[in-house]
Structure 1
Amino acid sequence: MSQRRWNRLSAEQAAVVCAMGELLTVVEDFGALALVVCGPALLALPLRRRLPVTALCTTLPAIATGHLLLPSMIAMYVVASSRTQSRIAGPCVVLFTAALCPWPLSEVATMTRTDLLNTMEVAALLSIGPSALGQLARARAGTQAQLTRLESSWAREQRLGAEQAVIRERARLARDMHDSVSHHVSIIAVQAGALRAAESDPDKRADVESIRTHSVRALEELRDMVGVLRGSDLLATAPTSGPHLADLQGLAAESGLDVTTDLEALAEHSWPDDVETTGYRIVQEALSNVRKHAPGASVTLSAMLTEDHGALILEVRNGPTEQQPEHTGLPSGRHGLAGLMERAEHLGGQLTARPSAGGGFLVRAVLPL
C-alpha cells in the first residue's frame, strides 16, 4: 500500500472513530429514536466506498433528527470525491434539505427569522463543506494521475531517444566497418587469388589458398555483422549464420598448431545458437593466443558435459614452448580474454584463463545449456 493511500485511509478511519465518539453527545437522551437513527448511520459507514450514495441516504435520518452529524458529512465527502461535479448536486441538495429541516417539523412554526438563517447556514456548511472537500480531493487525485502519466510519457520518450541514438551509432559503425575493413580484406582476398593463380609451387599455392579462404570467410562474417549493426532490432546480438561447435575440428586443423582434440561430447547433444557461437569464438580466440604467445606448443582441445548435463565445458590447454613469440606487427588491443569473459557471463556461465602446471596456459569455459 502506497504512503498516500495509507494517509487517506488513516484520515477517514479517524473521522469514523470521531463519528462513533459523537454518540457521547447524545448519550443523555439516547432513546428509541436515537437507536433507530444512530445505529444504521454508523453501520453504513463501512459501505461508504462501495455504496457511497446508499451510505449517505442511510445517514440522513441521523442528521435530520440532530443526533449525529459526522456520518452524513463523511458519506457526502466520499460521494463528492468519487463523482463529477454535475453528479453530486442531487446528493448535496438532499443532505442540505435533511440538515435544514428541524425535528420535530412542528418547530418550524416557532422559528424566528434569525433561527431560520442560522439553520440554513449550518445546513449549507454541513452539505457544501464536505462536497467541496471531496471535489478538491478528486481534483488532486486527477492531477496526481496526470503527473504520473506525464512522467511515464517522459521516461518513454527518453528511452526512445536513447534507442534512436544507439541505432544511429550502430549505423555509423556499420558504415565504417564496411568502408574501411572490408576494403582492406577484399584487397587481401583478390591479391591472394591472383598470387595463387601465378604460383607453381604446390606448398606455396596451398598457403596462398589458405590466405584467400580466410579472407573470404572474414568478408562473409563482416557482412553478417554489418547486417546486424544496420538492423533496427536492438536485441540482435549475432548473425543468423554464425559458427557452430561442429566446426571446431576444422578450426583446430586450420590453426597450424599441434592440436589434440577430444570432442566426442559435442556429437551427443544439440546446442542453443548462443552456446554454438560463444563456444566457437572462445576456442578460436584461445588458439589465436597460442599462435601469438606460445608458438610451437602442443595444444589439447576438449569438450565435456557436467555430471547433470546442465552445462558444456570447453578447455584449451597448451604446454610450454621454447620458441620466442614472433613479432608479426599485428595490433593487439588486449581485449580478447575480456571479451570472452563477457560472452560467457552473458550466457550465465564463466570463463577462467590462468597459467597451468608445467609452464603452459589453460582457458576453461563453462556454458550453461
Structure 2
Amino acid sequence: MRRRALTMLRRPAMTTVFLEAAILALVVLDVWLVVPQRAQSYSFYLSGISCLAVLLRRRFPFLALLMAVPGFFAGWAQLASMFTLGMVAARRQLAWQTWVGAALVFTCRFVSWPFSEFTKLTWREHILDGIYGVLVAGMPVALALLLGARQEIAAKLAELAKSRDRERRLYADAIRAEERARLAREMHDVVSHQITLIAMQAGALQAQAKEGPALETARVIRGLSRRTLEELRSLVSVLRSGAEEDDPRPGIGELDHLIRTADVPVRLTVEQLPDTLPSQVSAAAYRTVQECLTNVHKHAPGATATIRIQAGSGALDIEVENERARRSGERLPSGGHGLTGLAERARLLGGSFETSGTENGGFRVRARYPLELATITPPSTAAQ
C-alpha cells in the first residue's frame, strides 16, 4: 500500500485523477445522504449537474460555480458548491468573481427552497441560517486565500534565497577580483622587475662575450627572459581582467623550441598527432612538457628525458620519463606547485594526471587530455 502511494506521488497525472475521483465520490455521497424520500425530479437533475460541475472547476472555475449553485439552491449539492467556490477563490483571490460566488453560495444556504418554507421560518432560524451561510461561503474562500498567501510567501522565500545566492556569488567574485589584482601587482612589481634585471644582465654579458659558450649562454638567458616577460605580462592582464586568456598561448607546435632551450637531453616521439588541436589541449601539452623538463633540470641534472606524445581514442596522451640524476648540481628552490597545477589543469579539461617513480630511480609523468572538450570551467591561476 505504501509503495502504491509513493508511485502515485511520483506521477502527478495519476494523483490528479485519483483526487478528482475522490472529490466526485464525496460530493455524490453528500447529496445521496440528505435526499428525502419524496422530492421533485428537477432537484435530482440539478444536484447531479452540480456534482458533474466539480470536474470542470480546474479549467473553468467560475462557470463550474454557476453550474453548481442551482443544485445547491433547489437541491442538496452543498459540498459541490463549496469546492467550486474554493477553486474560484484560489484562482481569482479577491476578484469580483470570488465576491459574486460567495454571495451566491451564501444565498443558497440562507434562503430555503421552496419559498413557502422560507417564509415559515422564525427569526431565530433566519439568524442561524445566516450564520451557517457565512460559514459555508466563507470557509472555502478563507482556505483558498490562506493557500494563496502560502504560495506567495513560498515564492518570496525562493526569490530571497536566489537573491542571497546572487549576493554571495557577487561577494565571492569581488574577493577573487581583489585577490587577482593583488597578485597582478605583486607579479608586476616584484617578479617582472627581477626578470627585467636578469634580461639586462644577460644583455651585458652578451655584449662582453666575444664568442664561445659564454656568448651562447647569454643569448639563451636573454631569450628566455624576454619570453618570460611576455608571458608574465599576458598573465597579469588576465589576472586584472578576470577573464579567460584571449592572447595566443604557446602550444604543442612550439615544443621544438622549448626542447632546444631546455638544457636537458631529450628523446621526443610523436605519433598520430592530428593537424589541429583545441587551444586548451595544445597549451596544456606545452605546459606539461615545460614543467617536466624544468623538474628534470632542477632535480635530476644530466638525466635524459623521454617524451612520448600520442593522439588516439579521442584523447592526447603525454608521457615524460627521466632517468635518475647523473651528476650533482645546485639545488634550486621549489614550491611544489608545478605538478599540482598540471593536475588541476588536467581535471578542468576532463582528463587525468598521474605521477610515479621508475625502477631505475627516475620519475614518470602521464597526462591525458580529451580532444573534444565540453564546457570548461576557467582554470585557476595556479593552473596558468
TM-score (ref. length: structure 2): 0.86
> Cα offset for 1:175?
0.8
- 1:240 is the counterpart of 2:247: yes
Percent identity over paired residues: 37
Q: After superposition, where does 1:249-264 map in structure 2 within 5 Å?
A: 249-263=256-270
Aligned with 2:360: secondary structure? Answer: coil
Task: Tell me, in whole angstroms, the C-alpha distance in 1 between the residues paired with 2:24 and 2:194.
Answer: 82
> What is the aligned length?
359
Distance 2:24 2:185 in 1: 70
Match of 2:30 in 1: 22
Aligned to 1:140: 150
Equivalent residue number for residue 276 of structure 1: 282
Paired amino acid for 1:302:
R
**Which residue, out of 361, 365, 369, partners 1:363?**
365
Cα 1:30–1:287, aligned 2, differ >3 Å: closer, same or farther? farther
Matched residues in 2 for 1:148 and 1:30: separation?
Answer: 56
Instruction: Say if 2:76 is the partner of 1:81.
Output: no
Cα distance in 2 between the residues matched to 1:346 and 1:59: 63
CA distance in 2, matches of 1:305, 1:295: 30
Q: Which moved more, 1:199-208 or 1:269-278?
A: 199-208
Task: Tell me the amino acid that sits aligned with residue 330 of structure 2.
Answer: H
Q: Shift of the alpha carbon at 1:204?
A: 0.7
**Distance apart, 1:190 and its partner CA:** 1.1
Which residue, 326, 341, 344 being the options, matches 1:322? 326
Deviates more, 1:88-97 or 1:221-230: 88-97
List runs of 5+ in structure 1 lacking aligned partners. none
Q: Which residue of 1 aligns with 2:334?
A: 332
Q: Secondary structure at the match of 1:256?
A: coil
Q: What is the CA–CA distance in structure 2 between the aligned matches of 1:100 and 1:244, rounded to whole Å?
A: 87
Shift of 1:202: 3.2
TM-superposed CA distance for 1:322, in Å, is 3.2
- The 1:57–1:162 alpha-carbon spacing in structure 2 relative to 1, beyond 3 Å, is same
94-103 or 286-295: bigger deviation: 94-103
Q: For the Cα contact (< 8 Å) 2:20–2:55, is it kept in 1?
A: no
Question: Which consecutive residues of structure 2, in runs of 5 or more, have no partner in the other structure?
Answer: 1-7, 372-384
| Distance (Å, rounded) in 2 between the aligned partners of 1:351 and 1:21 | 71
Deviations 1:43-78 (A, max 9, x none): 111221221111111111221124121111111111
**Deviates most, 292-301 or 14-23:** 14-23
Give TM-score scaled by structure 1 length.
0.89
C-alpha root-mean-square deviation of aligned residues, in Å?
2.6
Question: C-alpha separation between the residues in 1 aligned to 2:119 and 2:271?
Answer: 109
- 1:195 equivalent in structure 2: 205
Change (3 A) 1:134 1:206: same
Q: Does residue 344 of the first structure (1) align with residue 346 of the second (2)?
A: yes
Residue 292, structure 1, aligned to residue 301, structure 2:
no
Change in Cα spacing, 1:160 to 1:17, as seen in structure 2 (3 Å) is farther
Cα distance in 2, alignment partners of residues 44 and 105 from structure 1: 25
Aligned mates of 1:13, 1:74 — CA distance in 2: 13
2:316 counterpart residue number: 312
Could you tell me how far 1:27 is from its partner in structure 2?
Answer: 4.7
